Structure 1
Amino acid sequence: MQREAAAIREQWLGRALSTQPTDRPAAEAAISALYRLIGLPPPRFHWVSSPLMALATVPPGARQSAENIDDWPLPAEFTSLKHRLSRELDCQVGWVHRPNEQLLRQQVLSSLNSSFNSAFLPPLLQAHSGVSWRYRTWYDTPYVAWLAHYDALHRAAGVPFSAGQHRRLALWTAVASACHWWWPGEQVCVVSERPVAVHTEVWGDDGEVRLHHADGPALRYGDGWDLYAWHGTQVPPWVLEDPAIDRIANEPNVEVRRCAIERLGWGPYIEQAGLRLVATAPDPGNPGFELRLYDMRRDTKVLLAINGSVERDGHRRRYGLTVPGFLKDPVDAAGWTYGLSAEQYSLLQRRT
């Protein structure tokens, strides 16, 4: 079952990451059918090139505008429609052997939700920064995680669904398979085209992905809107294109600064920034490797260490951690990052 669960998860993740052209007729037909399920006639459709454009202009003929999008009633209506179907399907799951249900929940639902939070939600929040969290919860509804979960329960665990339940699931699946994000209004439904490029990396034990691309935007749409990311952290373009020492020094955001240093490389950064080596010591938490402590600023030092676990490419990542300036011993500094004393850190079998 574990192998089948992983295959189902990858199939649905592929839908979410797809850069294939949208199937407008299929998307409009499925969304229209969902409108009928909440008692409304099919809407007019307003297609946009990216999520950034979705709320930037008022669709022709729409009463709603981006300024009052929190008052749009239909996202809540469709979310309730989804929840009613989920409750019905959950009633069918009770007889499944509990370890199997837990395995599917972890490897499919939880994994895809983690990917959503890491790879899919950040661009939406950037594009719609003025929208309240109440409206942002709509994005859980068209995302594939809940559909993949019930698909896995049916296909891998044999949970039976009625013909009516299958039909409703098929409508949500058709939308997820045909287009990108969508925003339902009373008269007009706004639908976004898919991105033209998506770059991710696997970072979790259950196939979770996050945005990452070292050589350009991790996410790019046909209208030119894009997003740069370094191992899941959203960064400005200069971090990847020109991580110069002066820019790093002037960057107020600690995470962006860390990403820029990693992009440049800790060795070149230390050399170009002229950091003074304070002390070195064997790493008791990672036998065979060394800890190096450098002065960074008057009240800050940086501890350079080697990751205790091997990356997916077979290498061990070198990374730096900022520590308080009063620390003078690398082992003390390593213990401080774990909330431990040097003696306690030295007793660790191996850190990760």
Structure 2
Amino acid sequence: MNRAFSPRHSSDRGIPLVERLETALRLRDDRVRTGLGTEPADRDAAQGAVSEIYRLLGEAPPEFVWVDSPVAAATLLRNDPDESVRGFGKLPPSVIPFRRWPFPQRLTALKFELRHRLGKSIDPRRHAWEPAAGFTKREWPASTLPELVARGVPPVWILELMVREPLRETLRDTMYQPLRAALLGPEDRSVERAGYEQYDTWSATFYDICRSVGLAEYRADDAHHLDQWLILARGTGWWWPGARRCVMAERPTALHVEARPRVLYGQLRLHRAEGPAVEFADGAEVFVRHGTVVREGSKVRAAAS
């Protein structure tokens, strides 16, 4: 079974707890840089990871089709009569055997169940803690990691505030969500829901950091499954898995960010004062000022035509 690090043992594996928490913060920043990378996709590694995820579902590897941007992928999928890539969302009734579920729902359930198992051991709600009088989360920023540990704050609470939340805010809230709206738009909602991308893996990155610093251990099959999502986080852009075909998009060729104001843990947002904040090889681009999409659509539509 998956096992969490016990906060009672502050020097588990011979490494002091404070040092491991400091390492977790450095890994957080490193993983954000990886998630915002603009290097060409590692196509062999990405296809291998997708094929392994398909194998976990009892499916043969799909046909792979690579495109230069999410816009090109949406155009291809919109004009494709094969509906197997669509339909991600609400799961079928439990009375229907899992093996008979449509492919998109089985993939959604596979990922959800993995995240549920990994998260059980490091869920702050499972680690009761009563702070000393007058010591609340609002006072945490004024405290160093050694002070937080000395006050008895459980490691999982520190990881939640200083690692998980910054990863989610940077990679999902200020990257994926505005790019999804700008690149796909309201007319492509069915295509949009079927997409995975490097920013979608913020949660897998968090579980990997906890494992890397010895604050959580996972059973072997879950660790192997987690590794596939991490390979995809490092090795590709957005991708749309279908029962017979998987459409894979290259990563952006340029991406510009700035530090968000009034934050504590390195959260970033899209920004470029002059020119597009995000560019793709086929000419698709998104203009963003201080996290807000502007001049939306002109080059995006041209690239999709």
Using the size of structure 2 for normalisation, the TM-score is 0.69
Give me the whole-angstrom Cα distance separating, in 2, the residues matched to 1:187 and 1:60. Answer: 16
1:46 touches 1:59 (CA, 8 Å); kept in 2? no
- What aligned pairs does 1:127-276 form with structure 2 within 5 A after superposition? 127-129=183-185, 130-132=187-189, 136=193, 139=196, 143-203=200-260, 204-236=263-295
Amino acid at match of 2:27: I
2:240 touches 2:248 (CA, 8 Å); kept in 1? yes
Aligned residues: 235
Cα deviation for residue 127 of structure 1 reads 2.0
Cα deviation for residue 105 of structure 1 reads 1.4
Structure 1 unaligned spans of 5+: 238-352
Q: Which residue of 2 aligns with 1:125?
A: 181
1:104 touches 1:152 (CA, 8 Å); kept in 2? no
Change (3 A) 1:49 1:158: same
Amino acid at match of 1:187: R
Structure possessing the higher relative contact order (Cα contacts under 8 Å, 6 or more residues apart): 2
1:62 touches 1:188 (CA, 8 Å); kept in 2? no
Give me the whole-angstrom Cα distance separating, in 2, the residues matched to 1:84 and 1:70. Answer: 19
Q: Which residue of 2 aligns with 1:309?
A: none
In the TM superposition, what whole-angstrom CA distance separates every residue of 1:307-332 from its partner, at most 9, and x where no partner exists?
xxxxxxxxxxxxxxxxxxxxxxxxxx
Q: Which residue of 1 aligns with 2:169?
A: 114
1:93 to 122, 135, 138: 122
Amino acid at match of 2:219: S
Deviates more, 1:79-88 or 1:20-29: 79-88
| Root mean square deviation of aligned Cα | 2.9
Q: Describe the SS at the equivalent of 1:47.
A: strand
Q: Describe the SS at the equivalent of 1:189.
A: strand
Give me the whole-angstrom Cα distance separating, in 2, the residues matched to 1:20 and 1:109. Answer: 25
Cα deviation for residue 17 of structure 1 reads 0.6
Which structure shows the higher helix fraction?
Answer: 2
Amino acid at match of 1:165: D
Change (3 A) 1:137 1:6: farther
2:68 to 42, 49, 72: 49
Change (3 A) 1:142 1:83: farther
Amino acid at match of 1:23: D
Q: Please say if 1:23 is aligned against 2:23.
A: no
Q: Describe the SS at the equivalent of 2:65.
A: strand
Change (3 A) 1:135 1:180: closer
Amino acid at match of 1:194: R
Give me the whole-angstrom Cα distance separating, in 1, the residues matched to 2:190 and 2:265. Answer: 28
Q: Which residue of 1 aligns with 2:95?
A: none
Amino acid at match of 2:155: N
Give me the whole-angstrom Cα distance separating, in 2, the residues matched to 1:226 and 1:179. Answer: 18
1:100 touches 1:157 (CA, 8 Å); kept in 2? no
2:112 to 83, 89, 103: 83
Change (3 A) 1:118 1:91: closer
Q: Please say if 1:105 is aligned against 2:105.
A: no
Q: Please say if 1:69 is aligned against 2:86.
A: yes
Give me the whole-angstrom Cα distance separating, in 2, the residues matched to 1:120 and 1:182. Answer: 13
In the TM superposition, what whole-angstrom CA distance separates every residue of 1:234-276 from its partner, at most 9, and x where no partner exists?
1118xxxxxxxxxxxxxxxxxxxxxxxxxxxxxxxxxxxxxxx
Change (3 A) 1:174 1:141: closer
2:240 touches 2:246 (CA, 8 Å); kept in 1? yes
Give me the whole-angstrom Cα distance separating, in 2, the residues matched to 1:32 and 1:137. Answer: 17
1:20 touches 1:196 (CA, 8 Å); kept in 2? yes
Give me the whole-angstrom Cα distance separating, in 2, the residues matched to 1:192 and 1:64. Answer: 19
Q: Describe the SS at the equivalent of 1:41.
A: coil
Amino acid at match of 1:49: D
Change (3 A) 1:198 1:85: same
In the TM superposition, what whole-angstrom CA distance separates every residue of 1:14-38 from its partner, at most 9, and x where no partner exists?
2211101111111001101101111
The structure with the largest alpha-carbon Rg is 1
Cα deviation for residue 71 of structure 1 reads 6.5
Give me the whole-angstrom Cα distance separating, in 2, the residues matched to 1:231 and 1:71. Answer: 31
Q: Describe the SS at the equivalent of 2:83.
A: coil
Change (3 A) 1:140 1:42: closer
Change (3 A) 1:15 1:59: farther
Structure 2 unaligned spans of 5+: 1-17, 90-101, 128-151, 297-305
Q: Describe the SS at the equivalent of 1:105.
A: helix
